Structure 1
Amino acid sequence: MRLNQARMNRAVMDPVANVVVERNGAEARMRFIGRWTSDQAAAVEAGASKLTAEAQGAERVLLDLSAVERLDTLGAWVLDRARSEIVARGQEAGFVGLDEPKRILLHEVAYHEFGLKAPVQHSAVVDILSDVGGTVVGAGRDLVGGVSFLGSLVAAFGRMLVNPRRFRITSMVFHLEAVGFRSVPIITLISFLVGCIVAQQGIFQLRRFGATPFVVDLIGILTLRELGVLLTSIMIAGRSGSAFTAEIGSMKMREEIDALRVMGLDPIEVLVAPRILALIVALPILTFLSNLAGLFGGGVVSWIYGGISQEVFLGRLRSAIAFNTFMVGIIKAPFMALVIGMIACIEGMAVKGSAESLGRQVTSSVVKAIFMVIVVDGLFAMFFASINY
């Protein structure tokens, strides 16, 4: 007893976490001294190891915390882990000398074993079918959500037509500048280069058959009907669609959209409608500029590489294309703008409260928008072919 008392006196003078062991037959009492806190992490782990070792052979182990100066979550978790290890060996163990704060802390940070679940074995065929089924269900949900969002958008436009003061013209002009004016350099450059490539490849292939002048027909029809609007839409989906998703998603993360609803404002009217209207106005204009750049690039390469003069190029271009050839691309543009804007805004609204969710939705927005642009282009191609336009 005198030896234990001496140990207790020395431990009380030392604030470092420590354990004093008292044995009384089949019972072992572990008296914890000092600060069992995170700044004493090494001493806490050493004390826990000493606890489990000294408890060997005892039928009943009492963990006395009455002399602990301070206990935080780390210390409580380590002590409860040691108690769990002793119980797992078939011994009886429990805490004594607890005041209310210590009891609550030990209860909140109680140690649990987390066992790994055995992986469930599936056949490759079942996994493939499961993935296909999940993709189909996800596509169906996206379709239903898109139709619902379109309905909300049409209702918002109806309210703005009834009460024009609800329409935010300043926001639309701002987005029109960002989507339209600032996109002109990159779209015209890409269209010019693609026009050059199409002309070069067309001349290279048609020269074998002595039909080099027909490259003008190829450039004119392909650019005006397909390439101009398709390149413009894909560039806008990657540039402006991703920006819309990131902007709305960031507002969703910061709960600014919830704040708009609390203030009695409709996020569709405030955030979505101006962006989609700006896209619908800007995309036909950008498509027109893309057509001009593509034709100019094709004309330059035809002159340099194919020996087709500017007069011959322009004359054959006038005979190869008509007004409907130009209008096919322009008619597609507003519909593609609507698809891009809706997908971008839907994915932005779907962002949760993490940066990972924001990145995932931005990626999904760009992929879905480009895919749907190509689908819409294919549908229009079949439609115009069926009406011979």
Structure 2
Amino acid sequence: MATHADYNAQTTATEVAAAFADSVKGKNIVVTGISPASIGYTTVMALAAQAPANLVLASRTKSKLDAVADDVRKAHPDVQLHLVPLDLADMASVRAAAASITGKLDHIDVLINNAGISTPERLAAKTPNGTEVDGQFLTNHVGVFLWTALLLPLLRAAATSSASGTARIVNLTSQGHHLSPVRFSDYSFRRDPYDVPEDEKPRQEIPAFFLRLNDGYPGFLGYGQSKTANILHATELARRLKSNQKDGDTRISVFSVHPGTIETELSRSLDQEGQETIAKTAPAGLWKTQDQGAATTLVAALDPKLNEADVAGGATIGYLSDCQLRDDMVAAHAKGEDTAKRLWTETEKLLEFTVGL
């Protein structure tokens, strides 16, 4: 249970950061996916207002990163900012970004994996071992998996320090994960959406809009697969950290977050059918503001009471929505411990990289 039972869909990130100011002040915080008019922007602005020691902004597009940094500096000139280029679809970029942060900081108290893409167009991609995967899966899961693993030593340093004693990892996912399980037999969606083993098929009752094909590619299903992977990654990472029993790993908490249905450039570009379909996924058809959309992220990142949650891929999944733990909202295909273990092992193979947990 989170500290504030009264927090809900209307709660703002500004409000949450102020309430948990002690969890921000003097801390080293890393946030990915930074651009103007985004929940990443609101997340950073809310954190900057509470005097973190170091705030690292990591993003793919330099101009957008610079624009956000300018706003932070104008509003909070005393905050120590570090700008790091990061393209999660490029594993060399991921490694370089992680190395850059390791050269700047001796520990990370909070890692917020906010970055991600959603596109109706096929982005053909290959992993380091040569496997063809969907570009959304590569960016939203494979890149995030490697990025988080490379920063684990800095998170461990925070969890073992007397000044902090804990560390927090937050994966941004979505209720869009209900659209598709992980397609272990067809990561790239080259086959018909239902031409896969039973446990990899989309639900039959999905609205037709989400099954739309763009040159044979179901973009929404690709997005859903990547968001399922975000949840499975978080729960398996939590389980492995807890069972590791060393290097402060038991004091690193991992959560996944559904930010809500939010007004963004992507949502505003949808046609009428898309707008109406997406609106139905929000409670009472209400769209959140950017500030409201970042609130749940900051509850997951900052609320000290969440350290009591037994998040290890078992009884507690650690999924938050509208600023509360809501494991009941997680689809069955994103809950299984065996599936989470399989995804972890398969991702290590895709990357030709072993985390060591």
TM-score, normalisation: structure 2: 0.27
Does 1 or 2 have the higher relative contact order (CA < 8 Å, sep 6+)? 2
Bigger share in strand: 2
Q: Which has the larger radius of gyration?
A: 1
TM-score, normalisation: structure 1: 0.25
Bigger share in helix: 1
